[in-house]
Structure 1
Amino acid sequence: MSAAPRERFDAAGRRVLLVCVAGGFTTLLDQSVLNTSIPALREGLHAQPAHLQWIVAGYSLAFGLALIPGGRLGDVKGRKWFFVTGLALFTLVSVVSATATDPGVLIAARLLQGAGAGLVNSQMIGTLQDVFDGQLRARALGLYAVTGGLAFALGPPVGGAVLAAVGPEQGWRLTFLLNVPFGLATVALAVRHLPRPRPSARHADLDLVGLLLVGALTLALMLPFVQPPAWTGWLAFAAVAALLLGGLVWWQRRYARRGGHPLIHPALTRSAPYALGTATAMAQFGSSLAAGLVLTMFLQDGLGLSPMGAALVALPSAVAMGVASALAWRVVRRFGRRTVTAAMTGSALVMLTSGLVAHWAPAAVLPWLLALLQLLGGASVGLMGATNQAYVLRHAPAEAAGVSGAILQMAQRIAAAVGVSALSGVYLRATAGGGGHRSAYLYASLVCAALAGLAVLASVGAGRATPQETPGDASGSEAVSRGRTAVR
């Protein structure tokens, strides 16, 4: 059976797509660039480990807190000016981050940057779902997902190049300033080209109680990983999170019975593919981001590589991710949703092998072996990132486009805060305990591989919950087709 002819974006659609992709790239590149700068930042500000955890994971905390309120506001009030406001805040505070002379100032700036980035990204998926339909929507969402993945992969090489060019003392500051020209240009494009504010929801109630409960639940889940407490604190946070989750479920049902429109659309809570696909994205994102951060720490602190040397080891991941992303729709056309499971399995194996190789291989060849493994890992993430997101969002109703995308991203941000904080803690504690950097990297890699294994299990479950998606299903393959012709 021949495939349906591929649609093309018109001029207005290409401009909207450019704005969304540029906004996503600018805000998501920020954190991955920072990973390479952590050792230089630590020396420049005389930052303590607790400061570093807040600087890195606090961004994800604020990002996650802003996502669902931002998505709901966009659904009800329209998206354009929330997009512009969030990106303007992110860009302005980037200057504050670059000029900070105290760890506390940088932590506060990172929290504000994260809030701005969360507000921006919560509008993007909703905007793409509002503007495009059918094949064009799938390709636009796929391109957005791929851009985010490439931003994370390109961050370490970009950060390494900046530090090599101007030196570590000023280099870490310049990595924050990289956001400014991109942010200003994107704000100008957004003001001109994003569609006028147009609510996508058919109702105007914000469900403020639901928003407060979701925000408190997000904080209870993420805060202990950003600032780890004593064991009694962990129990307290777990109890609070359980109470908030129960309260949210109760309130959403009560609000719906009273005739309101709950924050979390009932179609999302009833959809096993949406829930399991979100769990897959969550475990993949957390394990990948944590693995990238720990690798950068190991290459610089353990092997003594320069920031540029560490960046070159990570560069093959970005290249492979870009190539694999461009070919993903062809693979999905042949193998269907199993592509996600197979690619995630490959990613888990790469993380496991990286730890073993780092523990046993001679130092002279270790950077080359790790670069090869980064190539394989990048290809795996490229095949599954946009694919999984497109499958997940196919199960979201149009009136909850902003919230459905925000929940997906919030889950990833929770995973990022948990993964980065926990895995950096595993690595630092192992090195402080006298086990050496190689053993520390092995332990951290084993944990990352276990998290990726959870993503594999969730992906298998999602595939079983959607048996109608076969390898030859055109809708499935188009769900990740980004179309090189789309942006001509």
Structure 2
Amino acid sequence: MGIPESDARGAAVTGGTGFDAHGRRVLAVCVAAGFTTLLDQSVLNITVPALRDSLHAGPTEVQWIVAGYSLAFGLALIPGGRLGDVRGRKPFFLAGLAAFVAIGAVAGSAAHPWVLIAARLLQGVGAGLVNSQVIGTLQDTFTGQLRTRALGMYAVTAGIATALGPPLGGALIAAAGPGLGWRLAFLLNAPFGLLTLLLAVRHLPAARTRAAHADLDLVGLVLVGAMTLLVMLPFVLSSAPGGLKLGLAGGACALAGLFAVWQRHYARAGRHPLVHPALPRSAPYVLGTVVAMAQFGAGMASSLVLAMFLQDGLGLSAMTAAAVSLPNALAMGATSALAWRVMRRFGRHAVTVGLAVGTLCLVAGGLTALHASASALPWLLGLVQLCSGAAYGFVISPNQALVLRHAPPEAAGVAGGILQMSQRISAAICVSAISGIYLRGSATAATAAPAAYWHAALTCAGLSALAALVSLLAGHAPAPAANSVASSPAVREARPHERH
């Protein structure tokens, strides 16, 4: 999602060693938007026990509340980005953020679980519309190394917002009580959102029409959405018979094959498929995206399960649970600031090592829950969170930079949108599946929470280990030759219409 670099407003920022005044203002708006929409997801984690009790929500409803936002967020990214390509980014940025803030008020006043689920789905659409314009605006405004730095700052902000959410949510629960605190958590985005709106009105580049029509590939989007739902449903419908679950899995595989066929057909027709035909040919891009998906899904799910375990399993207050997760945010912020220097020296090896250490931290947390005494457990889990945040601070932003660096030139604009969409869909599936593991395990007996947490943490560790293995492979994967990609029939046929 982007316009040719020669046409991008703010082209002066491509030279020199830092951002010029215009670039800094645009970057501030984009970072603020990312912080607002991503904080909203993570702050929910610590409030789940309170809102569940207040609304009398069952396990299925809880899973939809926490997973629906990520699902809608991910599915809105690509059509939102393409609409921004066609009609200009500013109107969609403002509309998406205004809707996000307004629907947050509906979520905060919900009296029934399904009202909250619907509000979270709509908020996810608004957040996806906003963040697709953020990605496109950064692509439009910056080029070269400055583009990499800008996207990296956006990724770091996302990681820090994710880590800061639980402490902020815990503070609200402690200050206002469980019944009101979870509702205030949904209103927390309002001041950030309104401030970002004001900054965006003033500093975002004016809307510019770039093409005659939007090629949204709605069929591809529907196939991805249906495939994601079929993967999620066996975990949400935990009491469903095994035959139904097997049928859902088979349906997901069939839709995956149909999606691949449709993408080839759509590209050969000279149109813009959901996944640009050049992207699957870049092994570093594909493998790096898998790394991002596994790490992001494991991170979101582990944060949610930890919050539920500390409050439901150990009986700790929301504020104490938030204090346990706070070292994660602090350590991630500190190591993220150093990640660029480490990446320049060690390349992808730094990402792989960070994932390996993070995997060990997840295993250590699960074992601690099984064997540590109740009095020592919060302190030990806080220490594990400190190490985990430090490790993943070296992963999130560097991996994104490496992924986008290896995106083929003709797909550079859509590569960021596909990456973030993949992460959000992964989060929806992982949160649904792993929270289901914990909720079902902890419901069997009052003393079952540590074992349930161990199983959930071990599942997250498996995902993180997979990410480390794939990152190791990505470090040795050759990038496709530019001439081989450019000469492929699908790319040649798509190129006359390509505006990225």
TM-score by length of 1: 0.90
The whole-number CA distance in structure 2 between the counterparts of 1:6 and 1:373 is: 41
Match of 1:181 in 2: 191
Percent of aligned positions that are identical = 64
Q: Give 3-state SS (helix, strand or coil) of 1:196's partner.
A: coil
Of 275, 280, 283 in structure 2, the residue corresponding to residue 269 of structure 1 is: 280
Of 33, 56, 65 in structure 2, the residue corresponding to residue 46 of structure 1 is: 56
The whole-number CA distance in structure 2 between the counterparts of 1:128 and 1:282 is: 22
Of 77, 99, 102 in structure 1, the residue corresponding to residue 109 of structure 2 is: 99
Instruction: Answer yes or no: is the 8 Å Cα contact 2:33–2:130 preserved in 1.
Output: yes
Match of 2:259 in 1: 248
Of 455, 463, 468 in structure 2, the residue corresponding to residue 443 of structure 1 is: 455
Match of 1:114 in 2: 124
Asked if residue 84 in structure 1 is aligned to residue 94 in structure 2, the reply is yes
- Tell me by how many angstroms 1:204 deviates: 5.4
Q: Which runs of 5+ in 1 are unaligned?
A: 469-488
Match of 2:321 in 1: 310
Q: Give 3-state SS (helix, strand or coil) of 1:383's partner.
A: coil
Instruction: Answer yes or no: is the 8 Å Cα contact 2:232–2:429 preserved in 1.
Output: yes
Match of 1:413 in 2: 424
Asked if residue 459 in structure 1 is aligned to residue 490 in structure 2, the reply is no
The whole-number CA distance in structure 2 between the counterparts of 1:219 and 1:111 is: 13
Q: 1:72 to 1:446 in 2, by over 3 A?
A: same
The whole-number CA distance in structure 1 between the counterparts of 2:232 and 2:436 is: 15
The whole-number CA distance in structure 1 between the counterparts of 2:244 and 2:89 is: 38
Of 367, 378, 391 in structure 2, the residue corresponding to residue 356 of structure 1 is: 367
Match of 1:156 in 2: 166
Match of 2:387 in 1: 376
Of 43, 50, 75 in structure 2, the residue corresponding to residue 65 of structure 1 is: 75
TM-score by length of 2: 0.88
- Tell me by how many angstroms 1:34 deviates: 0.8
The whole-number CA distance in structure 1 between the counterparts of 2:399 and 2:212 is: 28
Match of 1:130 in 2: 140
- The 10-residue stretch of structure 1 (381-390 or 357-366) with the greater mean CA deviation from structure 2: 357-366
**Equivalent AA in structure 2 for residue 79 of structure 1:** R
Instruction: Answer yes or no: is the 8 Å Cα contact 1:317–1:378 preserved in 2.
Output: yes
The whole-number CA distance in structure 2 between the counterparts of 1:360 and 1:157 is: 26
Match of 1:139 in 2: 149
Instruction: Answer yes or no: is the 8 Å Cα contact 1:64–1:414 preserved in 2.
Output: yes
Q: 1:262 to 1:111 in 2, by over 3 A?
A: closer
**Equivalent AA in structure 1 for residue 338 of structure 2:** L
**Equivalent AA in structure 1 for residue 281 of structure 2:** R
Asked if residue 287 in structure 1 is aligned to residue 298 in structure 2, the reply is yes
Instruction: Answer yes or no: is the 8 Å Cα contact 1:30–1:155 preserved in 2.
Output: yes
CA deviations 1:31-61 (Å, max 9, x no partner) are 1111111111112112222221111111112
The whole-number CA distance in structure 1 between the counterparts of 2:392 and 2:377 is: 22
**Equivalent AA in structure 2 for residue 239 of structure 1:** G
- The 10-residue stretch of structure 1 (317-326 or 42-51) with the greater mean CA deviation from structure 2: 42-51
CA deviations 1:454-487 (Å, max 9, x no partner) are 111111111111489xxxxxxxxxxxxxxxxxxx
Q: Give 3-state SS (helix, strand or coil) of 1:344's partner.
A: helix
- Tell me by how many angstroms 1:331 deviates: 0.8
**Equivalent AA in structure 2 for residue 368 of structure 1:** W
The whole-number CA distance in structure 2 between the counterparts of 1:6 and 1:466 is: 31
The whole-number CA distance in structure 2 between the counterparts of 1:245 and 1:138 is: 32
CA deviations 1:282-316 (Å, max 9, x no partner) are 11011111111111111111222110001111000
Asked if residue 404 in structure 1 is aligned to residue 415 in structure 2, the reply is yes
- The 10-residue stretch of structure 1 (299-308 or 210-219) with the greater mean CA deviation from structure 2: 210-219
CA deviations 1:138-195 (Å, max 9, x no partner) are 1100100000000110001001111111111111111111111111221222222111
Q: Give 3-state SS (helix, strand or coil) of 1:262's partner.
A: coil
Q: 1:311 to 1:50 in 2, by over 3 A?
A: same
For the aligned residue pairs, the C-alpha RMSD in angstroms reads: 2.2
CA deviations 1:197-256 (Å, max 9, x no partner) are 346789854434334433433444445445555433333332332232222222222233
Q: 1:90 to 1:216 in 2, by over 3 A?
A: same
Q: 1:106 to 1:207 in 2, by over 3 A?
A: closer
- Tell me by how many angstroms 1:438 deviates: 1.4
Match of 1:473 in 2: none
Of 219, 228, 231 in structure 2, the residue corresponding to residue 209 of structure 1 is: 219
Length, aligned pairs only:
465
Match of 2:405 in 1: 394
- Tell me by how many angstroms 1:196 deviates: 2.2
The whole-number CA distance in structure 2 between the counterparts of 1:238 and 1:192 is: 48
CA deviations 1:310-332 (Å, max 9, x no partner) are 11110000000000000001111
Instruction: Answer yes or no: is the 8 Å Cα contact 1:265–1:400 preserved in 2.
Output: yes
Q: 1:198 to 1:90 in 2, by over 3 A?
A: same
- The 10-residue stretch of structure 1 (253-262 or 275-284) with the greater mean CA deviation from structure 2: 253-262
The whole-number CA distance in structure 2 between the counterparts of 1:290 and 1:336 is: 27
**Equivalent AA in structure 1 for residue 406 of structure 2:** H
Q: Give 3-state SS (helix, strand or coil) of 1:266's partner.
A: coil
Q: 1:208 to 1:98 in 2, by over 3 A?
A: closer
- The 10-residue stretch of structure 1 (429-438 or 372-381) with the greater mean CA deviation from structure 2: 429-438
Q: 1:395 to 1:449 in 2, by over 3 A?
A: same
Instruction: Answer yes or no: is the 8 Å Cα contact 1:64–1:218 preserved in 2.
Output: no
Q: Give 3-state SS (helix, strand or coil) of 2:278's partner.
A: helix
Q: 1:340 to 1:430 in 2, by over 3 A?
A: same
CA deviations 1:94-121 (Å, max 9, x no partner) are 0001111111211111111111111111
**Equivalent AA in structure 1 for residue 115 of structure 2:** V
- The 10-residue stretch of structure 1 (26-35 or 77-86) with the greater mean CA deviation from structure 2: 77-86
CA deviations 1:265-294 (Å, max 9, x no partner) are 122121111111010011101111111111
Q: 1:49 to 1:209 in 2, by over 3 A?
A: closer
Instruction: Answer yes or no: is the 8 Å Cα contact 1:79–1:199 preserved in 2.
Output: no
**Equivalent AA in structure 1 for residue 435 of structure 2:** S
Instruction: Answer yes or no: is the 8 Å Cα contact 2:228–2:429 preserved in 1.
Output: no
Instruction: Answer yes or no: is the 8 Å Cα contact 2:235–2:436 preserved in 1.
Output: no
Q: 1:396 to 1:57 in 2, by over 3 A?
A: same
The whole-number CA distance in structure 2 between the counterparts of 1:447 and 1:287 is: 8
CA deviations 1:310-366 (Å, max 9, x no partner) are 111100000000000000011112211111100000110000011111111122211
